[in-house]
Amino acid sequence: NTVAVLVVACPCALSLAAPAVIACANSALARLGLLPISATALEQLATVRHVLLDKTGTLTTGRPDVAVHAVRAGAGEASLLGIAAALERGSSHPLASAFRGHEQPAVQAGLVREIAGQGIAGRIDGRDYRLGRREFVTADAVRVDGVDDGLFLGDDDGLLARFDLKETVRPDAREAVDALRRLQLDVEIASGDAPGPVRRVAQSLGIARWQARLSPAAKVARLEALQAAGTPVLMVGDGINDAPVLAAADVSMVLRSGSALAQTAGDLLLLDGAWQAVPAAVVVARRARQVLKQNLVWAAAYNLTGIPLAALGWLPPWLAALGMSLSSVLVVLNARRVRA
């Protein structure tokens, strides 16, 4: 009887219940193009009820077209683009790619510094330039062409130009957003860009709630408001400006093309940029949680039933060994359902 009790009490099924599920779930995430970075990513992903999305480089392709509107008389379009390209040369922000094709070897920027959520500043040929939000570039309240959207370039004498950037929404973003809604998740855009571009992207994706001109601190404040209401939040982003909110979210995804700082703050790395992986990952996490509960219930029920039977002599050691082996095989086979 003692031998039978020891065999039944061997916690093989219990010890395999969670690792088997986690291994299968991580394998499923990898096939989707997601690499878990945090040990708690899978567990937290199964509980999310709200999704915060960055816009630039996340919902859009990150390869915008640029149009120049010169403000100061005598400023040539090629010269303005060359200055902007020199400032953005070392930046990892998605909008910096708009100026890559306009770089001029003779135009080099020094003392470059990037201010999160505002813009970038540097010195070219002894003059200080700024590129970013209008209020970051100049204290002048006069709008350019009556609008406040786009990127602005200025020096110590004031505004030089406004750049209009036209972004393209990722082709699979709308389908992924619809899939998130079908999973009963609320979807919201939290962007540092101007209201106009954010509104256009939100409308094209059918997202009713969106916020623009958010600083990194404002994004964190919005996240904390949701969390204070008891809502677990998934944040998806890619830029330096997103790093604080990515780190503070219950679980976060970062695009592989994102900045190194954002990737450090994220819980899951989206390897190939396929947006369909986002809702699919939530499905995998929820299924993994369900299968894990089934495994734990089965393993616990087997032990609670088998130990008394073995102690009373109704379960011989050979049958206890067979039952212990079968229970271990059962939890492993059940865990493979996560991969379906």
- Measured in whole angstroms, how far is the alpha carbon of residue 29 from the centre of its chain? 14
Pick from 98, 54, 64, 62: nearest CA to 80 = 98
Instruction: Give CA 286 to chain center in angstroms.
Output: 18
Between the CA of residue 174 and those of 15, 187, 237, 268, what are the distances in Å?
Answer: 41, 12, 16, 21
Cα separation, 310 vs 319, in Å, equals 10
> For residue 190, which of 236, 144, 255 has the smallest C-alpha distance?
236
Asked whether the beta carbons of 77 and 68 are under 8 A apart, the reply is yes
Rounded Cα–Cα distance for residues 99 and 153 (Å): 13
Q: Is 123 helix (H, G, I), strand (E, B) or coil?
A: strand
Residues labelled as active-site residues: 54
Whether the CA torsion 234, 236, 240, 241 is positive or negative: it is negative
